[in-house]
A and B are shown apart, each in its own frame.
Chain A
Amino acid sequence: MQEFAIILVSSILINNYVLVQFLGLCPFMGVSNKLESAIGMSAATTFVLTLTAMASYIVDVMVLMPLGLIYLRTIAFILVIAAVVQFTKMFIEKTSPLLYRVLGVFLPLITTNCAVLGVALQNASKDLNFMESSLYGFGAGAGFSLVLIFFSAMRERLAAADIPAPFEGAAIAMITAGLMSLAFMGFSGLV
């Protein structure tokens, strides 16, 4: 039980994918303008992360390892990710057209979100079991969601700030993310 708690705390806070490992920055900057779309993106990414962590574990253990094809991990995982993302995309398009529209190109781009591949590869290299892998994937997604949602709420507030013209928009968002990253360093050494 404590094991699982450690995995969660580690993946959400200490090794936060966005602010500590700097993975998945593309959707982090791109979809954080509005709280609503950030929440949608968070849900989608967490879903994809958890599902790919599970699926890639299965593929890894059931197919690649018995066949001695570990060197094919990256390609196989990308295949898994692409399929899961495509599935998610269809699902969202059907259930929430506005969200689909708002997420725009970032939804299919979850495929190339390095956090997703990162989780799958890290899981494989750490020799985690199925439960741990899934939890790790979920934790990574939750960490991503946490900072993305907070960040979008903050960007909504910054929208009305009197920011000097050269720093408006993405520039100040990057600075904010940088400062956040500093703050998250406070979590180092927790586990």
Chain B
Amino acid sequence: MAFKQITSPHAHAAQNTSKVMQLVLWATVPGLAALTIQFGWGSLINVVLAVVTAVACEAAILKLRKRPVAFYLQDYSAVVTAVLLGLALPPLAAWWVVVVGSMFSIIIAKQLYGGLGYNPFNPAMVGYVVLLISFPIQMTTWITPLSLLPDGVSHPGIIESLGIVFSGYSPADGVTGATPLDVFKHSSGLVVDQIYESNPLFSQAAFAGVGWEWVNLGFLAGGIVLLATRIFTWHGPVAMLAAIAMMSLLFWDGGSSESPGSPLMHLFSGASMMGAFFILTDPVSSAVSNRGRLIYGALIGVLVYIIRAWGNYPDAVAFAVLIANFAAPFIDNYTLPRTYGHTDRRRATEKEED
């Protein structure tokens, strides 16, 4: 009788990477739903378009590298990247914007580094930043939330939306408008209370900014599900949100005309929640240890606030995440956990234990 020589352990838990990725996809549903309700069909079209492009690119590159295509596509990582990019792009963006971003994400930011597990930067955010820098106008044209549309005007229907996306016409004037973060960026003369009264984005909002607060709540809900299922640990998201809250509290300035906005506004505007729960939790490009993730998350939070408050860009999650990705390997070298039986934490670079 001959048997196989197999290394221990012989038992395995039922979890697998593809299931993890699928769970992440399901967790984006509340956010996607909120986006669709508040801003029309655009986000859904973005997501579908991005997924198709990403999967096609991934398959093509795998084929080129003579790797088993089906096996690698099964891990759903390309789909996750594409969905996140699609969610981040402004609804009703022209089709080529989505396609270019998605291609850049998969080909340059992911496959050139060897594919899943090797990419040092978050592919979706690389795609987003490339688009933001290359096509600033397309990337900053946001749709007005549903409840702020003038009477008689509504978001384009699905057929109409497809027409807008593929014909390249920009959506009608009445349908586009500023985001809460834009408002704060461009209203330096007013104290916060005045902004809140004069701008319907805030005066009609429940607590942060019309439309955006629901989108962020959607992502928060999805994120909490992922936390509860232990897909990632709390360290990164909590550190980032705490850092944003701390920074905005520190510079709140009592709501003067210099103030860059309240903590609540910052936490529930732009990509705060999506960034915290879906972007910086990308394990491949983030720091590995729990302590490292605390630092990593906090770094992102601080950078997001700094760029939002004083930089040229109204939102900054993508930039902050990329810069933190850049710092992550360095952070990893100095945030090893203390191993059982050792009195001190070690550094990854030391040759001998002190």
Interface residues of A (CB under 8 A from B): 35-36, 147, 149-151, 153-154, 156-158, 161-164, 167, 172, 175-176, 179-180, 182-191
Contact = CB atoms under 8 A, between A and B. Distances in A.
A43 B258 CA distance: 39
Interface in B107-160: 108-109, 111-115, 118, 120-121, 126, 129-130, 133
Nearest to A151: B326
Interface residues of B, number: 37
Interface of B: 65, 108-109, 111-115, 118, 120-121, 126, 129-130, 133, 303, 306-307, 310-313, 316, 318-320, 322-323, 325-330, 332-333, 349
A163 B349 contact: no
Given A183-B129, A184-B323, A189 B312 contact: yes
Give chain B's interface secondary structure class: helix
A69 B180 CA distance: 55
Contact of A172 (B112, B322, B328, B332): B112
10 contacts: A35-B333, A35-B349, A154-B330, A157-B329, A163-B113, A175-B108, A180-B326, A184-B323, A187-B311, A190-B307
Contacts of B306: 190
B114 A182 contact: no
Given A186-B319, A189-B310, 13 more contacts: A35-B330, A156-B329, A164-B114, A167-B112, A179-B121, A182-B126, A186-B303, A186-B311, A186-B313, A186-B316, A186-B322, A187-B311, A190-B311
Give chain A's interface secondary structure class: helix
Contacts, number: 93
A185 B113 CA distance: 22
A149 B311 contact: no
Contacts of B109: 179
B322 A183 contact: yes
Contacts of B311: 186-190
A176 B322 CA distance: 11
